Chain A
């Protein structure tokens, strides 16, 4: 963790929700270390052909902007108003009632008034009014209009990259104004003049080239899974042998590459491998991984609609090439918002595949009739409901588990009860966090939408505070020691967040817990879990 990050006790006492003396239009932005991500590497920007690649530093006065940047933003804004009714409506109808203000984890955690969703949106709206509305042109500030200046631009950049597009505010807005939509389009505008962050731009370039955000090349991707295969054999005595890029397989599996790369996601990845092997042995289940479409996540979503589409296209392209019947998707947050709300529209129709049917239970996934893509939690819940998994739940008895609803599956899809059903069937100690912090009211991990870098650690700790506070509540009340989630960014972000705010709580994916409990055909007596830690039953007291 960053050296200059204040201690948790100090950080929480610093939070102050008082408003500044000066009005927000008269309070210029101060870009502060720890609260922003580094500017994008020009090579990455260039690789995917995005405009105005250059090296620049947010802390410097000169951002090396193209000369006509104001014109580019103006034209870009106009184009997007023509393309998105959402943008027009959200620019026009906010009444500033303030219901959204204290819904944002960044506002709760930082106290910065420009992190109130209403003001984040006003940063754009003020320019919109000035450039595109009669009232704004005539009345100026009285109507909340202001000109686009360099200071305003810097404010846009700073605060649009302090929003994780979690949509919690949009649940409470009486008009459904969605800050995520505003941030998405705002970032798209910034990208027109080469203002992105490297934690997004480089994964995008990697994903474009190698198929995944981490830039893992095909042979290395296979190496990593081979390595997990060995680990699994050590733990269970079973050789799970995954298959790759195999034509003619029934199903293609796509999951975020984060789970291939870093703990604790790797245990979830091992979980997938064990599950597929189990299903193959028992029921002849036929699934393949792909190295070309080796990324479920889509940092293009945090760049522009076009970039999202360019990266997402690989899923259908690979499914078509391999000739699979349908696609199974792993645990990931924004990946599922893209699949649920964008993929079919952008890259469909997927008429070369079949309506997804579980080959094991015969269940038809009617809700995925058109996209042909099923979530692993839906798939697992169906298996468990039909009693198709042999489970020894006592292997998870050392865990007291709570479940974090990831923002995108919760508010951009509605995947709430499937993962809970699975959890409650694989572990015996499950405790919910307070009702106002879960399901559609869930709080972001603080690092979504491409903000899970290292240099913005203070921002992440502030943004993740409401979630951590709720975890601390169940930790103190029920002794919860494991935070389960269905998102690879969560699994990358939470370990640091927990270490900072609730050090006694670990992080896991759903499938890891399933695999812990799963009785593999021909397995040896298991005395350790996937993490190599003693199972509670065999632990020496």
Chain B
């Protein structure tokens, strides 16, 4: 059972070694600083677009929303316009709540088999909480990193940083200095949420049972990204000015790989691997959630006709064929028929 996550852990450690040794020992700054990041970004963009186009090439033949509330029917019955939208405005809000607040996951119920053979289903919010903290903090971290790719740094990014680092924890000794740069909550929350998600995947037997190595890999990888980032910011201080010059060079296509510490290149390499891995993995749920036909369609298929582009004619058993087979019996039973019995003299 351990092999699945050990495999992924070992893979991530290997990736770490490749980048660290590659830079610190072999001095392959250009490879890890320029070539791989560009390649990864290219694979990510092309792969992502390819996947979404691949999905979009197939039609949505039927309206199959999962209805999670009262339909719109009689005027005096209140419809659940978000959980069972009959109009597109409701669908938009449903999708917004789904994508931004993970509304379906918020409903999660845990089944319990209690004494006296009684079942109960209690609200289970931890998975929702862990997921939402992970996604939001990751999103904040990504946005925050835009400061490395913009000059001057837009005001909104500066505000975000301020808000993110409202907690000022000053802890200064000869060995460690935490707090001086202002602690970003998002990074810590990200790491904590990742560890929660990882532990639950290891420890909840059913979740562990359904997991592949491919489910542990992104967790370890993003943990690697978070840890290397946190290390650089608070512990192994890196040449931030040099890095900014480098990242600005990347986005303006005049890249010069700086000779900064290996930990930076590990961070960059992990991010590159994540980007390149993304389009080929379950991480594509980021794109897919927008296209899920059980959520993004209105339940109005009795009121509005929906067309299936590949609807083809099928063989059916017509009334005429039916009556031909049963005419005699139908007449005997007094059922109306289209054609009377023909006497053929037999």
Contacts and interface: CB of A to CB of B under 8 A. Distances in A.
A342 interface: yes
Given A93-B288, A381-B74, A82 B58 contact: yes
27 contacts: A17-B206, A23-B1, A85-B55, A87-B58, A96-B215, A99-B108, A99-B127, A142-B7, A143-B214, A171-B66, A174-B131, A176-B104, A208-B317, A210-B322, A211-B322, A218-B326, A219-B335, A310-B315, A313-B316, A341-B62, A367-B73, A370-B304, A371-B302, A412-B64, A434-B120, A437-B121, A469-B118
A298 B55 CA distance: 30
B288 A96 contact: no
A245 interface: yes
A172 interface: yes
A340 B258 CA distance: 62
Given A135-B280, A143-B213, A370-B301, 11 more contacts: A92-B282, A97-B131, A133-B280, A135-B281, A171-B107, A172-B104, A172-B108, A174-B289, A367-B72, A370-B303, A414-B84
Interface in B288-346: 288-289, 291-295, 299-308, 310-311, 314-319, 322-323, 325-326, 329-330, 332-336
B117 interface: yes
A141 B113 CA distance: 34
Contacts, number: 316
Interface in A464-490: 466, 469-470, 473
Contacts of B330: 218-219, 291
Nearest to B108: A99
Interface string A309-329: 110011001100100000000
Nearest to A466: B119
A284 B297 CA distance: 40
B289 A175 contact: yes
A418 B73 contact: yes
Interface string B54-89: 111111111110111111111011111001101000
A344 B280 contact: no
Interface string A161-194: 0000001001111111110010000000000000
Contact of B67 (A177, A292, A410, A436): A410
A339 B113 CA distance: 37
B156 to A, nearest CB: 29
Given A17-B206, A317-B318, A437-B121, A222 B289 contact: no
A86 B280 contact: no
Contacts of B280: 133-135
Nearest to A181: B64
A23 B61 CA distance: 36
A144 B335 contact: no
B152 to A, nearest CB: 38
Contacts of A101: 206-207, 210
A85 B59 contact: yes
B329 A314 contact: no
Nearest to B331: A219
B303 A108 contact: no
Interface of B: 1, 7, 51, 54-64, 66-74, 76-80, 83-84, 86, 98, 102, 104-105, 107-111, 113, 117-121, 127, 131, 204-215, 280-282, 284-285, 287-289, 291-295, 299-308, 310-311, 314-319, 322-323, 325-326, 329-330, 332-336
A24 interface: yes
Contacts of A211: 322
A417 B77 contact: yes
Interface of A: 12, 15, 17-20, 23-24, 49, 81-89, 92-99, 101-103, 108, 113, 116, 118-119, 122, 133-135, 139, 141-144, 167, 170-178, 181, 208-211, 217-219, 222-223, 244-247, 291-292, 305-306, 309-310, 313-314, 317-318, 321, 339-342, 344-346, 348-349, 363, 365-371, 373, 378, 381-382, 385, 410-418, 421, 434, 436-437, 439-441, 466, 469-470, 473
A344 B319 contact: no
Contacts of A414: 67, 69-71, 79-80, 84, 299
B311 A89 contact: no
Nearest to B337: A245
A367 B86 contact: yes
Nearest to B111: A102
Given A19-B205, A218-B335, A466-B119, A174 B59 contact: no
Contact of A96 (B110, B282, B305): B282
B215 A95 contact: yes
B210 A96 contact: yes
Contacts of B303: 366-370
A178 B83 contact: no
Contacts of B304: 369-370
Contact of A222 (B108, B281, B307, B335): B335
Given A97-B127, A218-B326, A219-B333, A321 B302 contact: no
Given A172-B109, A369-B303, A86 B294 contact: yes
A304 to B, nearest CB: 10
A317 B212 contact: no
Contact of A415 (B57, B71, B117, B307): B71
A368 B302 contact: yes
Contacts of A122: 210
Nearest to B295: A176
Given A209-B317, A313-B314, A93 B289 contact: yes
A85 B207 contact: no
A96 B314 contact: no
A367 B111 contact: no
Given A175-B285, A345-B308, A440 B317 contact: no
Contacts of B329: 217-219
A257 to B, nearest CB: 15
B82 to A, nearest CB: 12
Given A178-B294, A414-B299, A437-B121, A84 B58 contact: yes
